[in-house]
Structure 1
Amino acid sequence: MKFLLDENVEKALFLGLKRRHPGLDVVRVVDVGLGGKPDLEVLEWAAQERRVGVSRDRATLSAEAARRVEEGRLILLRRGAGLGRILEDLDLLLATARPEELENAVLYLPL
């Protein structure tokens, strides 16, 4: 499974994922030249790269994802969710889900 973290996701989540899962393919929007780009462009890049997008942008990104759900997968982080809880749920997802199970899906964490 590969992840793309939106620019509104704390760097601490990126570092936590890398620490807990050293071989995990996870990149940040800013690291791949998508910082400040429109949501549609970020979602298109994630879909092309077969990455699961992770974002806190529930207002606009979730609406765009709902229109494009057939082309990608997205995890939206609930307001007020602590990083520890989010990391635990991502650990569970990585341990139990196959990438194809997330096709055409929008998930909300914590579960």
Structure 2
Amino acid sequence: MLAFAADENFNNNIVRGLQRRNPGLDLVRVQDVGLSAADDPTVLAWAAQEGRVLLTHDVSTITRFAYERVRAGKSMPGVFEVSREVPVRVAIEDILLLAECSLDGEWNGQIRYLPLR
């Protein structure tokens, strides 16, 4: 199963819903590991070091920094950009589906946008 990191501004209702629906889901919030107010490259580097796919709503800057990591040949386990417009229930279902059905390393170097539909 995938391991996730939720960035600092990720909707906590989604985080709580994911944890309720699957208590065994490997999900940490970056602020819980001492990365409050860290810049995007730092968050991406930490997620890569930990092998975690990053969950974010940030479509304006994360994408650029993630692709810069890939172009530089650095590890980037993946980014799932979740639209702020997607209902919480749909975001939870999509993330759980991806967590349970993805292979290890399947999202390396990729950015995917949710909702899946």
Class of the TM-score when normalised by the shorter of the 2 chains: over 0.9
Unaligned runs of 5+ in 1: none
CA RMSD after TM alignment: 1.1
Instruction: State the identity as a percent.
Output: 40
Q: Which sections of structure 2, spanning at least 5 residues, go unmatched?
A: none
Residue 101, structure 1, aligned to residue 106, structure 2: yes
After TM superposition, give the deviation of residue 20 of structure 1 in Å.
1.0
Q: What TM-score does the superposition give when structure 2 sets the normalisation length?
A: 0.89
Equivalent position amino acid for 2:100 in 1: A
In structure 2, C-alpha distance between the alignment counterparts of 1:15 and 1:78, rounded to whole Å: 17
Q: Pairwise mapping of residues 54-69 of structure 1 onto structure 2 (< 5 A)?
A: 54-69=55-70
Higher relative contact order (CA 8 A, sep 6+): 2
Once the two structures are TM-superposed, the CA of residue 98 in structure 1 deviates from its matched residue by 1.1
Moved over 4 A (4+): none
How far apart are residue 79 of structure 1 and its match?
3.7
Distance in 2 separating the partners of 1:51 and 1:93: 13
Q: Secondary structure at the match of 2:24?
A: coil
1: CA distance between counterparts of 2:54 and 2:37? Answer: 15
> What's 2:37 paired with?
36
Larger helix percent: 1
Alignment TM-score, normalising by the size of structure 1:
0.93
